[in-house]
Amino acid sequence: MKKILILGGTAEAVYLAGALKEQTDLSVIYSLAGRTRSPNLPDCDLRRGGFGGATGLVRYLQQNEIVAVMDATHPYAAQMAENARLATTETSLAHYKFLRPAWPEPDDGLWIHASSSKEAAERIHDNFKRVFLSGGLNDVADFSNLTDVWFLIRSIEEPEAPIPLGNFSHIKARGPFNEADERALLRDPKIDALVSKNSGGSATIAKLHAAKSLSIPVIMIDRPPIVGGVVFDDPLALLEQLRRDI
């Protein structure tokens, strides 16, 4: 049976793994970085943890006789995307990339663009004092020099290490979120800026609607460039293509 490796971690990756297992005679292996303690999982073979860079991924692909790689990681998983590009080039394997459509920028002028979380911190400096960091715990250290800012931090998991910020409140919550709750979350602690990644999808978009309704600026960390693979933003079109190719 032909084997496909899915680099997972998104709702669409879980869907694609399930659909491929049901609708094709492919053997599906779903791979996770392994950092989320209770991830959503598809009903197929699973593996967890890094491969050891592009070289490790090449080894894994060869040892497991994989015929195609589908990168359906988060749009900001730039290292994994680059490793997938390098490894599939090296092994001449088919490489599909699922990328959720980005949220479009509204024409209200309230988005402030940043190319990284470090640049988002520069945008906050001297401009905002009560900031909602909505993108989890990964990048909070980039905001640690902003000692006169109070942060609200939301993450799916409890922090495993102390949060490296002076003034903050942390909440643990998993989407989907609704607009009324998001509005209260922004309004009650008098948030004056929201920092977000452009994740796309419906589960976490309510924070943007809430910010817009309260005229709160959004510091949007833009997506990293797409580095390789045949790119799809529609899971059904990707499934269709795979059925034709493999």
220 contacts ligand NAP (rule: CB under 6 A): no
Task: Find out whether 215 and 36 touch, Cβ atoms under 8 Å.
Answer: no
Is residue 196 close enough to count as binding ligand NAP by CB under 6 A? no
**Residue 152 interacts with ligand NAP (CB under 6 A)?**
no
Q: Does the protein bind ligand NAP through residue 4 (CB under 6 A)?
A: no
111 binds ligand NAP (CB under 6 A): no
Minimum CB distance to ligand NAP, residue 154 (Å): 10
Distance CA 161, CA 138 (A): 11
Stretch that binds ligand NAP, among 6-14, 89-97, 178-186, 210-218 (CB under 6 A): 6-14
Taking CB under 6 A as the criterion, the residue among 4, 14, 20, 32 binding ligand NAP is 32
Q: Which residue of 4, 68, 73, 208 would you call a contact of ligand NAP, by CB under 6 A?
A: 73
* End-to-end C-alpha distance for the chain, whole angstroms: 11
Which residue number is nearest to ligand NAP in terms of Cβ?
Answer: 50
In the complex with ligand NAP, the residue whose CB is nearer, 89 or 187, is: 89
Residues 6+ apart with CB under 8 A from 140: 133, 151, 153, 163, 164, 165
Which residues share a beta bridge with 133?
153, 195
Residue 42 touches ligand NAP, criterion: CB under 6 A: no
Pick between residue 14 and residue 77 the one whose CB is nearest to ligand NAP: 77
Structure tokens that stand for 5 in this block: 């490796």
79 binds ligand NAP (CB under 6 A): yes
Q: Smallest gap, in angstroms, from Cβ of residue 190 to ligand NAP?
A: 25
Shortest distance (Å) from residue 107 CB to ligand NAP: 25
**Cβ partners under 8 Å of residue 192, min gap 6:** 128, 129, 130, 131, 216, 217
- Cα dihedral 21, 8, 154, 151, rounded to 10, equals -160
Among 136, 189, 228, 235, binds ligand NAP (CB under 6 A): 136
- Check binding of 224 to ligand NAP (CB under 6 A): no
Based on CB atoms, which residue is closest to ligand NAP, 88 or 199? 199
Which candidate, 113, 121, 124, 134, places its Cα nearest to that of 181?
134
Binding flag, residue 77, ligand NAP (CB under 6 A): yes
Q: Which long-range contacts (C-beta less than 8 Å, at least 24 apart) are formed by 42-45?
A: 42/8, 42/13, 42/14, 42/15, 42/17, 42/18, 43/18, 44/17, 44/18, 44/20
Residue 237 CB-density burial (10 A; 0-12 exposed, 13-18 middle, 19+ buried): exposed
* Site residues (vs ligand NAP, CB under 6 A): 7-9, 31-33, 50-53, 56-57, 73-74, 76-80, 83, 135-136, 138-139, 199
